[in-house]
């Protein structure tokens, strides 16, 4: 997001922004307050929103704790783990689809749709509901201090389609995403590790259903993902499952198999197991209880921590193995790791802490709550992006290489993984047949050599190439990644000036039209004055962008090419026209075009800030 950097520079927008950890199991919001990030929770509550949604028979939809409770009685109408489906196609999620209680489909763009009580919902819409809930709780805690600005975290291994889906979810919730940040980066920020001059951090994240370990390098406030490894089906749930199995063995002697297999009963067992597991993190012994008065069932069993650890050890070793692989991938020795950060509720388990400490040979950071640390870090980033002070410039890197399929199915990488974003790169292409007047471009993401082994991000065609002998046409293809890791690709034939471009709406992503369509759907907009508030927020935002850009142009116009300046002028004119009309949709569109047009300017300005920040620091140190 180009303009964010501009507003940081000018220090104009000081509206607070909320950091949101949109988790597979739990989601949470945090905010910078009085010099530090704090978790936002209502009095008496802890602020966690279980990432669960329940669809009532009266058409109502409830989110969070209440949804999880209702799932106990009516599991057929509850959805969990929606994050697993974000930006994916049906074929990517075959395994997860099995645990979904409703029919799953795919729309013509390959976006998954859950069908509940006769209506279809995309993962983006469902995540939007969770975001709205977190946002609501946050705003209530703030005493009605409305802000729509947010920073949202995603796993480091999320690809473009998954990031894009996350961004769309936020848009559907009426939120303005300042930036998408990697979860391990956020956790490191929460511990202030960006303040280190340089170092290597291992972030070990064991959540409810997923595990990942990321190795990050820090250099002058810039985080680089050196490697990330994990298992998207390894987490606290597996440990619950082990206890459930132990219970089932016991119970199978007394109750019929049909009751045992019932979804509702399974859910009850699962909750009892989780409660027992959580108690065992602090107590040497805990009970697992199942009460079903209707069936006159009162079952209980005690587990010692030792028994639990014996059950859990193989699961935890799988996570440690992934750490070995991550180190090997990054070609690092254990001794290279300076800091270890624990993330995720399941890292409260003493055995997990012990094993991580043994493996890395150093004490991991545990001063902050592991299930809050990502949201706290997102709040730090949000603070910085809204003009708060923290001297260091925070940047992220691309997790995967981006490139173009060439003749023969090979991949020409245009932007290499670990490039600091925002960034741009241009690569030359040509025709392979005589008199070829069009080129089909296939944009891919991944580290593999062949396009078919990488993930397709999009396809587009450049036509209007003059008929020339093979290899004579000169086509410049430009990749641009904005600060959220989202990609625009444009191609230009240099003789005729013919151009084509795509904003890579990734496969399994929503089209702009769909987003607009969904935005109009009323159920996401519980608040009556939603459009009105969106319009006024947009107006403020666009006003800020205009001022910042005018300012930037005064100083840096000479560093930009003519085309960029013209794009900027055009898009500023359209934005001003849309402002006059007070039409939300038109303004949003114009704003998005404008934002893209500001990217080159932002890059120039970023360059300058970076230089200044570095020189500034050196001076301080002398």
Question: So which residues are the catalytic ones?
Answer: 21, 83, 183, 205
d(CA 418, CA 556): 28
Subset of 570-589 contacting ligand ADP (CB under 6 A): none
d(CA 599, CA 483): 9
Residue 183 CB, nearest distance to Mg ion (Å)?
6
Q: Binds 77, which of ligand ADP, Mg ion, none (CB < 5 to 8 A, cut-off by type)?
A: none
Ramachandran angles phi, psi of 286, nearest 5°: -150, 155
Residue 330 CB, nearest distance to ligand ADP (Å)?
23
d(CA 598, CA 11): 17
Q: Is 184 in the site for Mg ion (CB under 5 A)?
A: no
3-state secondary structure of 25: coil
Q: Is 598 in the site for ligand ADP (CB under 6 A)?
A: no
| CA atoms within a 13 Å half-sphere pointing along the CA-CB vector of 391 | 12
Q: Two tokens at 146?
A: 């409305």
Judged by CB under 6 A, the residue of 7, 15, 26, 588 near ligand ADP is 26
Q: Binds 281, which of Mg ion, ligand ADP, none (CB < 5 to 8 A, cut-off by type)?
A: ligand ADP
Let me know how long the chain is.
622
Nearer to ligand ADP, 25 or 588 (CB): 25
The string of DSSP letters for 143-184 reads TS----EEEEEE-TT--HHHHHHHHHHHHHTT-EEEEEEEHH
Q: Is 281 in the site for ligand ADP (CB under 6 A)?
A: yes
**Neighbour tally for 344: CB within 10 Å:** 28
The CA-to-CA distance between both ends of the chain, in Å, stands at 34
Which position's Cβ is nearest ligand ADP? 236
Nearer to ligand ADP, 23 or 364 (CB): 23
Ramachandran angles phi, psi of 502, nearest 5°: -130, 140
Which one of the spans 201-209, 227-235, 271-279, 511-519 is the region binding Mg ion (CB under 5 A)? 201-209
Q: Two tokens at 251?
A: 């119970």
DSSP 8-state class, residue 233: T
Q: Binds 236, which of ligand ADP, Mg ion, none (CB < 5 to 8 A, cut-off by type)?
A: ligand ADP
Residue 210 CB, nearest distance to Mg ion (Å)?
8
Closest CA to 214 of 231, 226, 222, 232: 226
Nearer to ligand ADP, 174 or 235 (CB): 235
DSSP alpha helices (H): ranges in 23-103?
Answer: 65-73, 94-97
Q: Is 377 in the site for ligand ADP (CB under 6 A)?
A: no
Which one of the spans 23-31, 494-502, 520-528, 583-591 is the region binding ligand ADP (CB under 6 A)? 23-31
Nearer to ligand ADP, 23 or 403 (CB): 23
Q: Binds 400, which of Mg ion, ligand ADP, none (CB < 5 to 8 A, cut-off by type)?
A: none
d(CA 80, CA 51): 6
Q: Binds 174, which of Mg ion, ligand ADP, none (CB < 5 to 8 A, cut-off by type)?
A: none
Judged by CB under 6 A, the residue of 189, 268, 346, 443 near ligand ADP is 346
Q: Is 47 in the site for ligand ADP (CB under 6 A)?
A: no
* 402-405/423-429 β-pairing: unpaired
What's the CA angle centered on 591, arms 590 and 595, to 5 degrees? 120
- Stretch 204-223: interaction string toward Mg ion, x if CB under 5 A: ---x----------------
Residue 534 CB, nearest distance to Mg ion (Å)?
29
Nearer to Mg ion, 23 or 87 (CB): 23
Cβ atoms of residues 67 and 53 within 8 Å = yes
Residue 41 CB, nearest distance to ligand ADP (Å)?
14
Which residue's structure tokens are 């587990």?
303
Cβ atoms of residues 64 and 49 within 8 Å = yes
Q: Is 155 in the site for ligand ADP (CB under 6 A)?
A: no
Judged by CB under 6 A, the residue of 68, 135, 348, 492 near ligand ADP is 348
Residue 473 CB, nearest distance to Mg ion (Å)?
48
Q: Is 25 in the site for ligand ADP (CB under 6 A)?
A: yes
d(CA 350, CA 308): 11
Nearer to ligand ADP, 131 or 545 (CB): 131
Phi-psi region of 387 (alpha: psi -120 to 50; beta: other; left: phi over 0): left
Subset of 191-230 contacting ligand ADP (CB under 6 A): 207-210
Nearer to Mg ion, 182 or 401 (CB): 182
Q: H or E segment at 26?
A: strand 26-33
Q: Binds 160, which of Mg ion, ligand ADP, none (CB < 5 to 8 A, cut-off by type)?
A: none
Ramachandran angles phi, psi of 277, nearest 5°: -60, -45
- Buried b / exposed e over 387-425, threshold 16 CB at 10 Å, is bbebeebbbbbbbbbbbbbeeeeebebbbebebbbbbbb
- Stretch 15-54: interaction string toward Mg ion, x if CB under 5 A: --------x-------------------------------
Q: Is 23 in the site for ligand ADP (CB under 6 A)?
A: yes
Which residue's structure tokens are 């004119």?
573
**Neighbour tally for 381: CB within 10 Å:** 28
Nearer to Mg ion, 159 or 482 (CB): 159
Nearer to ligand ADP, 24 or 124 (CB): 24
Q: Is 184 in the site for ligand ADP (CB under 6 A)?
A: no
Give all strands (DSSP E) within 406-562, no chain letters.
Answer: 411-415, 420-421, 423-429, 438-445, 455-463, 475-481, 487-493, 499-503
Q: Binds 506, which of Mg ion, ligand ADP, none (CB < 5 to 8 A, cut-off by type)?
A: none
Nearer to ligand ADP, 378 or 414 (CB): 378
- Stretch 226-255: interaction string toward ligand ADP, x if CB under 6 A: ---------xxx------------------
Nearer to ligand ADP, 190 or 411 (CB): 190
d(CA 75, CA 145): 36
Residue 40 CB, nearest distance to ligand ADP (Å)?
16
Which one of the spans 301-309, 343-351, 405-413, 432-440 is the region binding ligand ADP (CB under 6 A)? 343-351
Q: Binds 113, which of Mg ion, ligand ADP, none (CB < 5 to 8 A, cut-off by type)?
A: none
d(CA 581, CA 574): 11
Which one of the spans 123-131, 199-207, 267-275, 403-411 is the region binding Mg ion (CB under 5 A)? 199-207
* 149-154/176-182 β-pairing: parallel
Q: Which residues bind Mg ion (CB under 5 A)?
A: 23, 207
Q: Which residues bind ligand ADP (CB under 6 A)?
A: 23-26, 207-210, 235-237, 274, 277-278, 281, 344-346, 348-349, 371
């Amino acid at each position: 997001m180009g303009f964010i950097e501009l507003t940081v520079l000018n220090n104009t927008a000081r509206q607070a922004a909320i950091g949101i950890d949109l988790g597979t199991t739990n989601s949470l919001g945090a905010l910078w307050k009085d010099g530090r990030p704090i978790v936002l929770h209502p009095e008496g509550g802890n602020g966690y929103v279980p990432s669960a949604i329940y669809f009532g028979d009266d058409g109502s939809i409830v989110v969070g704790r209440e949804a999880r409770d209702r799932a106990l009685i009516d599991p057929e109408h509850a959805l969990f783990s929606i994050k697993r489906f974000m930006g994916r196609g049906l074929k990517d999620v075959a395994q997860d689809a099995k645990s979904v209680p409703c029919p799953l489909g795919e729309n013509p763009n390959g976006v998954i749709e859950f069908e509940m009580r006769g209506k279809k919902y995309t993962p983006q819409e469902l995540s939007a509901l969770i975001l709205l809930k977190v946002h609501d709780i946050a705003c209530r805690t703030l005493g009605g201090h409305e802000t729509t600005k947010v920073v949202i975290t995603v796993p480091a291994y999320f690809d473009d389609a998954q990031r894009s889906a996350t961004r769309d979810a936020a848009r559907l919730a009426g939120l303005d995403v300042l930036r998408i940040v990697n979860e391990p980066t956020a956790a490191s920020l929460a511990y202030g590790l960006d303040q280190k001059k340089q170092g290597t951090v291992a972030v070990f994240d064991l959540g409810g259903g997923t595990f990942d370990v990321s190795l990050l390098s820090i250099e002058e406030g810039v985080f680089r993902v050196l490697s990330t490894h994990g298992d998207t089906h390894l987490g606290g749930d597996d440990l619950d499952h082990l206890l459930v199995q132990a219970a089932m063995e016991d119970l199978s002697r007394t109750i019929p198999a049909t009751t045992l297999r019932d979804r509702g009963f399974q859910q009850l067992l699962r909750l009892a197991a989780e409660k027992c597991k959580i108690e065992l993190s602090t107590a040497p012994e805990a009970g697992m209880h199942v009460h079903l008065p209707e069936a006159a069932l009162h079952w209980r069993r005690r587990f010692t921590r030792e028994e639990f650890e014996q059950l859990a050890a193989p699961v935890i070793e799988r996570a440690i193995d992934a750490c070995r692989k991550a180190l090997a991938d990054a070609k690092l020795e254990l001794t290279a790791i300076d800091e270890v950060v624990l993330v995720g509720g399941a890292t409260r388990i003493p055995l997990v802490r012990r094993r991580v400490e043994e493996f890395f040979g150093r004490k991991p950071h545990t001063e902050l709550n592991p299930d809050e640390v990502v949201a706290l870090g997102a709040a730090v980033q949000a603070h910085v992006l809204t003009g708060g002070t923290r001297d260091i410039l925070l940047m992220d890197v691309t997790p995967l290489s981006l490139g173009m399929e060439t003749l023969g199915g090979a991949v020409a990488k245009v932007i290499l993984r670990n490039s600091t974003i925002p960034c741009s790169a241009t690569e030359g292409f040509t025709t392979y047949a005589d008199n070829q007047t069009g080129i089909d471009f296939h944009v891919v993401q991944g580290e593999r050599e062949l396009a078919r082994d990488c993930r397709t991000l999009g396809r587009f065609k450049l036509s209007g190439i003059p008929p020339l002998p093979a290899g004579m046409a000169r086509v410049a293809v430009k990749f641009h990644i904005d600060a959220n890791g989202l990609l625009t690709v444009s191609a230009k034939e240099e003789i005729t000036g013919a151009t084509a471009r795509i904003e890579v709406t990734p496969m399994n992503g929503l089209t702009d039209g769909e987003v607009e369509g969904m935005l109009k759907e009323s159920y996401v907009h519980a608040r009556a004055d939603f459009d009105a508030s969106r319009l006024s927020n947009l107006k403020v935002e666009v006003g800020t962008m205009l001022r910042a850009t005018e300012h930037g142009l005064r100083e840096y116009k000479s560093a930009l090419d003519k085309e960029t300046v013209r794009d900027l002028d055009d898009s500023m004119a359209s934005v001003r026209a849309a402002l006059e009309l007070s039409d939300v949709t038109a303004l949003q569109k114009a704003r998005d075009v404008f934002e893209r047009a500001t990217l080159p300017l932002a890059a120039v300005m970023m360059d300058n800030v970076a230089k200044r920040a570095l020189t500034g620091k050196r001076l301080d140190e002398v």
